[in-house]
Amino acid sequence: MKALRGIAASPGVAIGKVYLLDHEDHQSIPKKSIKESQIPKEITRFQEALTQTRAEILNIRDKISKEIGQEHADIFNAHLMVIEDRALIEEVMERIKKERVTAEFVFSTVLKRYVQSFLKIDDEYLRERVSDINDVGRRIIRNLIGTHRRSLAEIQDKVIIIAYDISPSDTAVMNRKNVIGFATDIGGRTSHTAIMAKSLEIPAVVGLESVTHQVKDGDTVIVDGKEGVVIVNPSPSEIQKYKNEQIRYQEFSRGLKKFRDLPCITTDGRRIELAANIELPEETTSVIAHGADGIGLYRTEFLYMNRQDLPDEEEQYQAYKRVVVDMAPKPVIIRTFDLGGDKFLSHLEMPHEMNPFLGWRAIRFCLASPEIFKYQLRAILRASAHGKLRMMYPMISGVQELKQANKLLEEAKNELRAKKIYFNEKIEVGAMIEIPSAAITCDILAQEVDFFSIGTNDLIQYALAVDRINEKIAYLYEPAHPAVLRLLKNVVDTGHEKKIWVGICGEMAGDPMLTPVLVGLGLDEISTSPVMLPEIKKIIRSMSYAEAQEITRYVMTLRTGAEVVNYLKMKYQQILRNSLIKK
């Protein structure tokens, strides 16, 4: 038995067999054995991957030579040298025979050693070739795995997926009924894997660093998504303990069901709109089942992923209309697409960036590609004819961007008007506040929009300079940091001064312990994963607004995130105790 600690990403307990997923673009390849009879096939597979990679590189070299010049094309000669290195090829083939493991595993270990030896060489030029070696290595591995990478669509039994990372396209094709848990090497609480797992209500732990190396296909594991623990090959008594935990969690969730149809209102009558975040149109069923007042964040970029073309206006219109009609008369906020960061498209040729979260992402990409953006704007406007639809822009950093986006929206409206296509002329438009510059200048932004929605997932990473998906610095990712609380307070107070409403839609909104502060800050709307809504509603219905404001006033005087968390833990218990006494 082995217990691994990671980051709790989606609550619940799963007990089941491991389904190990390869990661095609990384050298973290799990060790998998093969039968003696498979050796010749494995060697052929390796040789074919080399041939295919060679052809790819020759192709790129020719293209670059024609388009940019011979001297740039010469870089690819270094790539070819790796593929043609006899010693490396012989060693891989020998080890496949001797060790009876997959070609990609042997190749990745040989390659790692190769890289290490280059790094030790006292020659700048040769050391710099390491990135070429890594590059060609990735290509070979991709070609090796690409042909036989298991598809999540094929899963037949109930399994727990263990992976380096699970991409949005993996989750899109996954047979959801048979996937009972997730555990990944990388990622943080707000990475797309964590967000997806929560919306699918699958227990998950992320950021385990090397879980893919600690398990084999078919091992039994326990995923405890609340504590962030994965237990490999547990003892019978450990299994029993977690089965009891599973029952406790199910009873807890059942107990919360009664809140579904009750209003989200404090004991002294302040009403807060409790909304849900979704990634896919079909999630509206779960949103309704958990008693949401509406949808506070529909992340539309998932419509653009896992496909070879862009969704056209009509397809988008049908998807948005479906969500609006399903939810009517409740409101729906569509967030215009936010690609980049940790969500990419393979076919859009977005350049590789050193800092994708600081790069060409979301509204920046949209403003640079107005035609693509306007397909979406027109689709949203058309869907606004069918219910209560609002829209908002992600990653606004200043008023100039907001004005440009609104200008394109006006153009889209004019295009529809010219064709006499009906839409809601008074559609409410908001800005996400998720960049510190926007939080600080929100008084200026407020003049251009009808509402703000604070995206704390990004706001925290930018305010604290902590990459939201990097597990190594996850301990610094503190929603309760005084800097974050002060930014939130500024946005809510300023928004209200300027007479616009303010919501919050980052993962922080789904942490029940933080609910008293969010209510006390005066937020008008809280939007989070459907699965978290009943618990949040329970807390809101158990306290008064006056009490929440007092808690917030005190919390704003504290000096560290840890002090805030300790105090809020105590208050959280107190609120629950008092609500039991009052019953």
Catalytically annotated residues: 192, 505
Q: Verify binding: residue 456, ligand PEP, rule CB under 6 A.
A: yes
Q: Which does 456 bind (CB under 5 to 8 A by kind): ligand PEP, Mg ion, none?
A: ligand PEP
CB of 10 to ligand PEP, least distance (A): 14
**Cβ nearer to ligand PEP, comparing 141 with 505:** 505
Helix axes 130-146, 103-120, angle to 10 degrees: 180
Q: Do the beta carbons of residue 509 and residue 533 sit within 8 Å?
A: no
| Residue ranges in 331-360 that form contacts with ligand PEP under rule CB under 6 A | 338
**Cβ nearer to Mg ion, comparing 171 with 453:** 453
The single residue among 455, 503, 512, 522 that binds ligand PEP, judged by CB under 6 A, is: 455
CB of 453 to Mg ion, least distance (A): 10
**Cβ nearer to ligand PEP, comparing 336 with 456:** 456
Q: Do the beta carbons of residue 378 and residue 418 sit within 8 Å?
A: no
CB of 203 to Mg ion, least distance (A): 24
* 3-class secondary structure, 368: helix
CB of 299 to ligand PEP, least distance (A): 5
Q: In what order do the strands lie in the sheet with 13-21?
A: 2-5, 229-232, 220-224, 13-21, 159-163, 179-184, 204-206, 7-10
**Cβ nearer to ligand PEP, comparing 242 with 320:** 320
Nearest to 432 by CA among 336, 499, 356: 336
Hey, what are 293's tokens? 């007042």
The single residue among 215, 274, 505, 555 that binds ligand PEP, judged by CB under 6 A, is: 505
The amino acid at residue 230 is V
Q: Verify binding: residue 199, ligand PEP, rule CB under 6 A.
A: no
As to burial, measured by CB atoms within 10 angstroms (0-12 exposed, 13-18 middle, 19+ buried), residue 68 is exposed
**Cβ nearer to ligand PEP, comparing 215 with 274:** 274
Q: Which does 332 bind (CB under 5 to 8 A by kind): ligand PEP, Mg ion, none?
A: none
Q: Verify binding: residue 49, ligand PEP, rule CB under 6 A.
A: no
Give the list of residues 6+ apart from residue 65 with CB closer than 8 angstroms, or none.
Answer: 72, 73
**Cβ nearer to ligand PEP, comparing 297 with 405:** 297
What is the biggest distance separating any 2 CA atoms in the chain, rounded to whole angstroms?
80
Binding footprint of Mg ion on the chain (CB under 5 A): 434, 455, 458
CB of 432 to ligand PEP, least distance (A): 7
Alpha helix segments (H runs only) across 68-146: 70-73, 75-83, 86-99, 103-120, 124-128, 130-146
The count of residues interacting with ligand PEP (CB under 6 A) is 11
Q: Verify binding: residue 222, ligand PEP, rule CB under 6 A.
A: no
Query: What does 126-175 look like in DSSP terms, one character per residue?
Result: HHHTHHHHHHHHHHHHHHHHHTTPPPGGG--S-EEEEES---HHHHHHS-
Helix axes 130-146, 75-83, angle to 10 degrees: 60
Give the list of residues 6+ apart from residue 343 with CB closer than 8 angstroms, or none.
Answer: 168, 192, 301, 305
Q: Which does 505 bind (CB under 5 to 8 A by kind): ligand PEP, Mg ion, none?
A: ligand PEP
**Cβ nearer to ligand PEP, comparing 230 with 505:** 505
For residue 223, list its beta bridge partners. Answer: 14, 230
Hey, what are 171's tokens? 């989750």
Which window, 97-105, 108-116, 181-189, 452-460, contacts ligand PEP (CB under 6 A)?
Answer: 452-460
Q: Which does 518 bind (CB under 5 to 8 A by kind): Mg ion, ligand PEP, none?
A: none
Q: Do the beta carbons of residue 448 and residue 393 sit within 8 Å?
A: no
CB of 22 to ligand PEP, least distance (A): 27
Q: Which does 460 bind (CB under 5 to 8 A by kind): ligand PEP, Mg ion, none?
A: none
For residue 504, list its beta bridge partners. Answer: 454, 526
Which window, 208-216, 449-457, 513-521, 566-574, contacts ligand PEP (CB under 6 A)?
Answer: 449-457
Q: Verify binding: residue 481, ligand PEP, rule CB under 6 A.
A: no
DSSP state at residue 431? E
CB of 461 to Mg ion, least distance (A): 9
- What stretch of H or E contains 231? strand 229-232
The single residue among 189, 299, 537, 538 that binds ligand PEP, judged by CB under 6 A, is: 299
Q: Verify binding: residue 287, ligand PEP, rule CB under 6 A.
A: no
CA distances from 130 to 59, 109, 134, 140, 400 (A): 22, 15, 6, 15, 42
**Cβ nearer to ligand PEP, comparing 165 with 338:** 338
**Cβ nearer to ligand PEP, comparing 203 with 455:** 455
Which window, 311-319, 409-417, 453-461, 469-477, contacts ligand PEP (CB under 6 A)?
Answer: 453-461
Which window, 237-245, 286-294, 454-462, 570-578, contacts ligand PEP (CB under 6 A)?
Answer: 454-462
Query: What does 374-398 look like in DSSP terms, one character per residue?
Result: HHHHHHHHHHGGGS-EEEEES---S
CB of 503 to ligand PEP, least distance (A): 10
CB of 335 to Mg ion, least distance (A): 8
Which window, 204-212, 313-321, 322-330, 455-463, contacts ligand PEP (CB under 6 A)?
Answer: 455-463
Cis peptide upstream of residue 329 (ω within 30 degrees of 0): yes
CB of 505 to ligand PEP, least distance (A): 5
Nearest to 228 by CA among 208, 199, 198: 208
Length reported for the chain: 583
Rounded CA-CA distance 168/345 in Å is 10
**Site for ligand PEP, rule CB under 6 A:** 190, 297, 299, 338, 434, 455-458, 505-506
